[in-house]
Chains A and B, each alone.
Chain A
C-alpha cells in the first residue's frame, strides 16, 4: 500500500450522513410539492406577462418626469422620506433597548425579558403594523413612518447588541486609572468604539426600509405602493412599467451609495 492510498483511507467516511441529508431534503421537497396547484394558471397569464414586459419597455414617460404631487418623482421622494424618518426614529429608540438587552451591561433576567420583547416586535410582519397604525393615524405617510420606526427597532437593537457586547472594556479601565470622569469615559471611551459601526448598521437598515416603505403603500400607509396596485388592478401597464422603473432605479442608486459609505465607515 503506498502513501497515497494510506492518505485516502484517512478520509472520514461521510457517505451515510450525506445520504441521510439528501433523503431528508427529498422528503421535504415531495412534501412541499403537495401545495402546488396550477389550476389558477390560465392562458391569460401569458398575455399579462407580455403586457407587463411591454409596459416596462414603453413606460409612461409623462408620469416618470412629472414634478407635480401625482408624479412618480414625488412619490419616490415621499417613499424615501418615510424610510428616512422611520429609520432615524427607530435608530434612536433602539439604543436604550439595545443597552437593556446587552448581557454584559444589565443583569441576565432583564436582558432576557427585553430580548423576548424584541423577538416579538421583529416577528410581526410590517404589513400588520401598517394596518394597525392606519387605524391610529388615518391613511397616509404618517402611518408609514410609525410602522417603519417600530419594525426598525427590532432589527437595529439586535445588531446594536452584537456591537455592544464586543466593547473593549480594557480602555475604560485604563481611563479610570488616569482619573477620567464617567462622562469622559462615555464620550472618549465608548462612543468612538460604537459610532462607526452603529452608523453602518443604521445605513443598512435604511436600505431595507426603503423596500419596505415601497410595500406599505399596499395597506394605504403612503409611498409608491398604492399607485402601483391601483395601476395594476386597472391594467394600465405603461403606468405600472414607469412606477417599477422608478422604484428599481431608486433602490439601485441608494444601495450603491450606502454600500460605498458603509465600506468607508467600516474601514475607517
Chain B
C-alpha cells in the first residue's frame, strides 16, 4: 500500500527501454519509528542522565544477591514444589480441555459457522488478558492460595494450546476423515481415527512447551497472592533481603533449566 503512494524511479536502459524501479519504503518506516520513539520518550519520561547516575544502584542490588543465603533452602523447597504442582495441574487440565474446544473451533470439523467463529473468539479473548491479571481476578473469586493460580494457568493453557491445535486441525489431510464419515462413522469416531494420529505429536509437543512457559509464569503468580514461590519472592523483596531473593532466583533458574531440558528432549523425540 505504501509502495503505491511513492513515485517510482525511472531507469533508461541502453537499448532505449524504461524500467520502473520501486522506491524502498524503509526510510519512511524508519521515520515513523523515530517519531513514535520520540513521543514515547516524552510520555514515559525516559531520562538517560538519571539512568547513568543511578544505574549503579541496580548493580548494588545484584551484588547483594550474590552469596545467596543457603540456609534459606529448607524454607523454599516446599513452595517451589507447590509452584511446579500448580503449573503441572493447570497445564494438564488445560491441555485436556483444549482438545474438544479446538474441535469445536476448527471450521472443517464443526459445520456450524457461527459456533466455530464463537469458539475462536472466546479462545482469542482468553489469550488477551495477561496471566498475572487473570490470577489477580481469580484471587478475588477463589480466595488467596494455589487454586487461583491453577485457574489462571488453566485458562491460559486452554487458550494457547486451543489456538495452535485448531490451526493444526484446519490444516490436516481430510481424505481419511471423509472416507470414514462416508462409511458411517460418527464425527467423533472419525476424528479419533483419522485426525488424531495426524495432530497427536504436535498436540503433545505444544502442551509440553506450554508447560515449560507456565512454570516461569507460576513463579510470579504468588506476587498477587496466588500461591507458590512468588509469595516468598514478594516478601523477601519487600524486606529488601536480597540474599534470600538471590537464593530463590538461583533455585528458580535451576528448576526451569531442568524442566526445559527434559521437555526439549521429549519434544525433539515427538517431532
Chain A positions within 8 Å of B, measured between CB atoms, are 25, 28-29, 31-42, 45, 48-49, 52, 77-78, 80-82, 84-85, 88, 119-120, 123-128, 131-133, 135-137, 140-142, 144-146, 211-212, 214-215, 218-219, 222, 225, 228-229, 232, 244, 247-248, 251-252, 255
Contact check: which of B33, B85, B253 meets A119 at CB < 8 Å? B253
Taking the complex as formed, is B86 at the interface, i.e. its CB lies under 8 A from any CB of chain A? yes
> CA A251 – CA B166 in complex, angstroms?
21
Distance (whole angstroms) from the CB of A125 to the closest CB of chain B: 4
Cβ-neighbour of A128 out of B40, B88, B125, B245 (below 8 A): B245
**Chain B residues with CB below 8 A from A146, complex form:** 51
A136 touches B55 (CB 8 A): yes
In the bound assembly, the distance between CA atoms of A239 and B145 in angstroms comes to 25
B92 contacts which of A29, A34, A85, A145 (Cβ < 8 Å)? A29
B231 at the interface (CB under 8 A from A): no
Residue of A32, A78, A211 touching B85 (CB-CB under 8 A): A32
Instruction: Give chain B interface residues in 117-170, CB to chain A under 8 Å.
Output: 124-125, 128-130, 132-133, 136-137, 140-147, 150
- In the complex, what distance in Å separates the CA atom of A268 from the CA atom of B82? 46
Answer whether A81 and B40 are a contact pair too, CB < 8 Å, given A41-B147, A125-B216.
Answer: yes
With both beta carbons as reference points, the residue of chain B lying nearest to A208 in the complex is identified as: B130
Q: What are the nearest 6 A-B pairs in CB distance?
A: A40-B143, A32-B85, A81-B40, A141-B44, A81-B43, A35-B85
- In the bound complex, CA of A55 to CA of B220 (Å): 27
Majority DSSP secondary structure for residues of B touching A: helix
The 12 listed contacts between A and B (C-beta, < 8 Å) are A40-B144, A40-B147, A84-B37, A88-B33, A119-B257, A124-B249, A125-B219, A127-B220, A128-B220, A141-B44, A142-B46, A145-B40
- CB-CB < 8 A to B180: which residues of A? none
- In the complex, per-residue mask of B97-124: 1 if CB is within 8 Å of any chain A CB, else 0: 0000000000000000000000000001
Task: Compute how far the CA of A137 lies from the CA of B244 in the bound complex, rounded to whole angstroms.
Answer: 23
Question: Are A45 and B141 also in contact (CB < 8 A) when A119-B257, A212-B130, A248-B128 are?
Answer: yes
Number of inter-chain CB pairs below 8 Å: 164
- What separation, in Å, do the CA atoms of A202 and B46 have in the docked complex? 21
Q: Contact residue range for chain B? A: 35 or more
Given A82-B40, A132-B61, A251-B128, 12 other A-B residues pairs in contact with their CB atoms under 8 A = A28-B88, A32-B92, A35-B227, A48-B140, A88-B33, A119-B253, A127-B132, A137-B54, A142-B45, A212-B130, A219-B223, A251-B129
Report the Cα distance A219→B125, complex, angstroms. Answer: 25
Dominant secondary structure of chain A at its interface with chain B: helix
Q: Is B182 an interface residue (CB 8 A)?
A: no
Q: Is the CB of B146 within 8 A of A214?
A: no
A128 to B248, CA, bound (A): 11
| A145-B216 Cα distance, complex, nearest whole Å | 21
**Contact in complex: B130, A215 (CB < 8 Å):** yes
